[in-house]
Amino acid sequence: MYDFTYHRPDSVTHAAGLIANREAKLLAGGMSLLPSLKLRLARYSDLVDLKSIQGLRGVTRDGGTLIIGALTQHAVVAASDIVRQAIPALAVLAGGIGDPLVRNRGTIGGSIANADPAADYPSSLLGLGATVITQEREIPGDDFFKGLFETALTPGEIITAVRFPIPERAGYVKLPHPASRFAMVGVFVAKTADGVRVAVTGAGASAFRFRDAERALGANFSPVALSKIAIDPAGLNSDIHASAEYRAHAIGVLTKRAVAAAIAA
Ligand SMILES: Cc1cc2nc3c(=O)[nH]c(=O)nc-3n(C[C@H](O)[C@H](O)[C@H](O)COP(=O)(O)OP(=O)(O)OC[C@H]3O[C@@H](n4cnc5c(N)ncnc54)[C@H](O)[C@@H]3O)c2cc1C
């Protein structure tokens, strides 16, 4: 690890000031950032640790929406009675991330800012039509992920919370990598008053909507509605773990299972 100056600000404004005009990086749970520093894959002059900032943690329900603070760990989301009652699929998703260490340290804000193509949360942002809240603005989940490890965040922008509309039904199913539990493919399905949203993670440079499935499920919210729907493997991720064709097939299977999970929830 290269040398850096460590800061622990007590407000978002203070944190934003510390990262402005420096080769600085925000630190949340450290689950992605610290390994890259330890391996000397990255070098920053300053690390700005968000953990002492009040008001960035916890889950609240406000009418038809769920608001999760950026620093809320995956284990907290998984165990939250509010989440389990309002959007059980989100608790399932958080509870399936990594291992106990990762779930107890990793945060929702860090996960989505990192925008790993195999991360679980991005599918829920697209699948539920969530909104990312920063100290400067609100970003629709549909516009947040721009590509491989790339988001709409501008330098110095700090995620403070994510707002999820509560759907009528939702389901999340993934094919986990056997070692890390990252999603080789994960599918989030949500049925709302406005229609059906289906989002896929692990199969592209970033999470994406599966529009053909959304149309079919909008007409009939049942796994059988997907019997003639297939996704083109062209452009999907292909690596030593799974070919693009394998992932395309898995998307079809997991979408049906996510619908079944949503119906059963
Ligand atoms: C062994 C292992 C297994 C894992 N398995 C899974 C898995 O199955 N599924 C999954 O989805 N993920 C998995 N992860 C990733 C994990 O879920 C973490 O959430 C993720 O690594 C980053 O979250 P963090 O809070 O640790 O962020 P950090 O590592 O501290 O930061 C990550 C990035 O986000 C930025 N950042 C952090 N917070 C904010 C903020 N509030 N605003 C703006 N930028 C911010 C940082 O500057 C940094 O660039 C795994 C990680 C490990 C190490």
In the chain (265 residues long), the average pLDDT of successive 10-residue segments reads: 95 95 92 96 96 96 97 98 98 98 98 98 98 98 97 96 98 96 98 96 98 98 97 96 97 98 95
Residue 224 alpha carbon to ligand 1 centre in Å: 36
- Residue with CA nearest ligand 1 atom 18: 106
Separation CA 37–CA 55 (nearest Å): 28
User: Is 114 a pocket residue for ligand 1 (Cβ < 6 Å)?
Assistant: yes
Best mutation site among 19, 34, 45, 114 for ligand 1, i.e. most ligand atoms within 8 A of its Cβ? 114
Q: Where are the beta strands (DSSP E) in the chain?
A: 5-7, 24-27, 46-49, 59-62, 65-69, 131-134, 138-140, 145-147, 150-151, 159-165, 169-176, 183-192, 195-201, 208-209
Q: Quote the pLDDT of residue 22.
A: 79
Q: Which amino acid is at 196?
A: V
CA of 201 to the centre of ligand 1 (A): 15
Q: Whose CA is closest to 66, among 124, 146, 137?
A: 124
Q: Does any ligand 1 atom lie closer than 6 A to the CB of residue 180? A: yes
Ligand 1 neighbour 56 (Cβ under 6 A): no
Nearest Cα neighbor of 57 from 46, 47, 68, 41 is: 68
Q: Which residue's alpha carbon is at the smallest distance from atom 50 of ligand 1?
A: 98
* 74 CA to centre of ligand 1 in angstroms: 10
**CB 107 near ligand 1, within 6 Å:** yes
What atom of ligand 1 comes closest to residue 177's alpha carbon?
A: 8
The values of phi and psi at residue 69, to 5°, are -65, 145
Contact 59, 67 (CB under 8 A): yes
The reply to whether ligand 1 has any atom less than 6 angstroms from the CB of 51 is no
Q: Is 119 in the pocket of ligand 1 (CB under 6 A)?
A: yes
List the beta bridge partners of residue 7. Answer: 48
- 3-state per-residue secondary structure call for 175-242: EECCCCCCEEEEEEEEEECCEEEEEEECCCCCCEECHHHHHHHHHCCCHHHHCCCCCCCCCCCCCCCC
Phi-psi region of 145 (alpha: psi -120 to 50; beta: other; left: phi over 0): beta
Q: Is 237 in the pocket of ligand 1 (CB under 6 A)?
A: no
pLDDT at residue number 122: 98
Query: What pLDDT sits at residue 72?
Result: 98
Ligand 1 centroid to Cα of residue 73, in Å, is: 10
Q: Is the CB of 37 under 6 A from ligand 1?
A: no
pLDDT on residue 21: 72
| CA pair distance 141, 110, nearest whole angstrom | 15
pLDDT score for 257:
98
Q: Which of 111, 154, 157 to mutate to test the pocket of ligand 1 (most atoms within 8 A of CB)?
A: 111
Phi, psi dihedrals of residue 198, rounded to the nearest 5° = -130, 125
Which atom of ligand 1 is closest in space to residue 99's alpha carbon? Answer: 3
Tell me if the pTM is above 0.75: yes
Nearest CA to 189 among 124, 250, 138? 124
Instruction: Tell me, using a 6 A CB cutoff, whether residue 92 lines ligand 1.
Output: no
